[in-house]
Structure 1
Amino acid sequence: MHHIKRNGGYLISLAVMILCLVWIVYFNGDQHYLILSFACLVVSMLPFYWHFENRQSEAREVVFIAVLVTIGALGRVALAAIPDVKPTSFIVIMAGLVLGPEAGFIVGSTSAIVSNIFLGQGPWTPWQMFAWGMMGVTAGLIRNFKWAHNRYYLAALGVVYGFLFGWIMDLWYALVYVSPLTLKTFIAAYVASFYFDLTHGITTAVLLFLFYESWYRIITRFKYKYGLGDVQDQLDKSDF
Structure 2
Amino acid sequence: WRLLAGLRKAYRGELTITGSVGMLPQNPQALFVKNTVREDLLEILPKAERKSDRLAQVVSLCKLTELLDRHPYDLSGGEQQRAALAKILLLNPDILLLDEPTKGLDAEFKQVFGQILRTLQASGVSILMVSHDIEFCAKYADRCALFFDGNIVTEAEPRVFFSGNNFYTTSSNRIARDVLPEAVTPEDVISACGGAVEPEPELPQYERTLPKPKTEKAAAKKLPVWRKILAAVSGIVSLVLIVQTLKVTDLTKLVTADGLTALAGDQLKLYGVMLVSMLVFALSVSHKAKRPDYLIQTPVEKRKLQKRTVAATLLILLLIPLTLFIGAYYFGGRKYYFISLLILLECMLPFLLIFEGRKPQARELVLIAVLVALNVAGRAVFFMLPEFKPVVSMTILAGVAFGGETGFLVGAMTMLVSNMFFGQGAWTPWQMFAMGIIGWLAGVLYRKGVLRRSRISLCIFGVIASTVVYGGIMNPASALMWAHTINWNIIKSYYLTGVPIDLVRAIGTFFFLWLGAEPMLEKLDRIKTKYGLAE
TM-score, normalized by length of structure 1? 0.82
Which of residues 457, 460, 465 is equivalent to 1:153?
457
Deviations 1:61-92 (A, max 9, x none): 11111111101001101112211112111111
- Report the Cα distance in structure 1 between the residues aligned to 2:527 and 2:320, rounded to whole angstroms: 34
CA separation of 1:170/1:147 partners in 2, compared to 1, >3 Å: closer, same or farther? closer
Does structure 2 retain, via aligned residues, the 8 Å contact 1:86–1:204?
yes
- State the Cα distance separating 1:15 from its structure 2 match: 2.3
Where 2:452 maps in the other structure, the secondary structure is: helix
Alpha-carbon distance in 2 for matches of 1:100, 1:130: 17
C-alpha distance in structure 1 between counterparts of 2:435 and 2:511, whole Å? 18
Q: Relative to total residues, which structure has the larger helix share, 1 or 2?
A: 1
Which sits farther off after the overlay, 122-131 or 173-182? 173-182
| SS of residue matched to 2:386 | coil
Matched, 1:92 2:432: no
Shift of 1:135: 0.8
**Separation (CA, whole Å) in 2 of partners of 1:170 and 1:132:** 13
Question: In structure 2, what is the Cα distance between the partners aligned to 1:62 and 1:154?
Answer: 25
User: What's the counterpart of residue 235 of structure 1?
Assistant: none
1:167 corresponds to 2:472? yes
Correspondences of 1:79-228 after superposition (within 5 Å)? 79-144=382-447, 145=449, 147-163=451-467, 164-228=469-533
Question: 1:104: how far off?
Answer: 0.7
> Are residue 69 (structure 1) and residue 372 (structure 2) matched?
yes
Is the deviation greater in 7-16 or in 165-174?
7-16
Distance 2:322 2:412 in 1: 21
C-alpha distance in 1 between matches for 2:429 and 2:374: 20
Structure 1: gaps spanning 5 or more residues: 25-29, 231-240
Does the 8 Å contact 2:344/2:413 carry over to 1? no
- Per the TM alignment, residue 159 of structure 1 is displaced from its structure 2 partner at its CA by 0.9
* Bigger RCO of structures 1 and 2 (CA < 8 A, at least 6 apart): 1
Task: Output the amino acid matched with 1:161.
Answer: A
Provide the residue aligned with 1:237 in structure 2: none
Deviation, 1:43, is 5.4
Structure 1 residues 209, 183: closer, same or farther in 2, change over 3 A? same
Is 1:16–1:40's contact at 8 Å kept on the other side of the alignment? no
- Identify the residue that residue 381 of structure 2 maps to in structure 1: 78
Deviation of the 1:47 alpha carbon:
4.0
**Distance in 1, Cα, partners of 2:340 & 2:412:** 11
Question: Aligned-pair distance for 1:35?
Answer: 4.6
C-alpha contact 1:10 1:47 (8 A) present in aligned 2: no
Kindly tell me: are residues 226 and 219 of structure 1, through their superposed partners in 2, closer, same or farther at Cα, counting changes over 3 Å?
Answer: same
Query: What is the Cα deviation at residue 152 of structure 1?
Result: 1.7
Amino acid at match of 1:212: A
Q: Paired residue for 1:50?
A: 349
3-state SS, counterpart of residue 228 of structure 1? coil
**d(CA) in 2 for partners of 1:36 and 1:167?**
23
Q: Which runs of 4+ in 1 moved over 3 A?
A: 17-21, 30-48
Equivalence for 2:24: none
In structure 2, C-alpha distance between the alignment counterparts of 1:41 and 1:121, rounded to whole Å? 10
Q: Report Cα offsets for 1:7-65 as digits up to 9, x if no partner.
A: 223213312356578x68xxxxx963745996888656544312434624211111111
Question: Are residues 137 and 146 of structure 1, via their aligned partners in 2, closer, same or farther at CA, if it must alter by over 3 Å?
Answer: closer
2:322 and 2:330 map into 1 onto residues whose CA distance is 15
Distance 1:19 1:129, change over 3 A: closer
The 8 Å contact of residues 100 and 229 in structure 1, kept in 2 or not, is answered as no
* TM-score after normalising by structure 2: 0.39
Instruction: Tell me by how many angstroms 1:154 deviates.
Output: 1.6
Q: Which of the pair has more CA radius of gyration? A: 2
Q: Cα distance 1:43–1:121, how it changes in 2: closer, same or farther (>3 A)? A: closer
TM-superposition CA deviations, 1:96-119 (whole Å, max 9, x none): 011111111111111111111111
Is it true that 1:32 corresponds to 2:336 in the alignment?
no
Name the CA distance, whole Å, in 2 between partners of 1:227 and 1:204. Answer: 29
CA distance in 2, matches of 1:229, 1:122: 34
Partner Cα separation in structure 2 for residue 111 and residue 71 of structure 1: 9
Structure 2 unmatched runs, 5+: 1-304
Q: CA deviation digits over 1:129-161, x for unaligned, max 9?
A: 111111111111122327521222221111111
* Aligned-partner Cα distance in 1 for 2:408–2:434: 9
Q: Which one is further off, 121-130 or 150-159?
A: 150-159
Structure 1 stretch displaced more, 50-59 or 80-89: 50-59
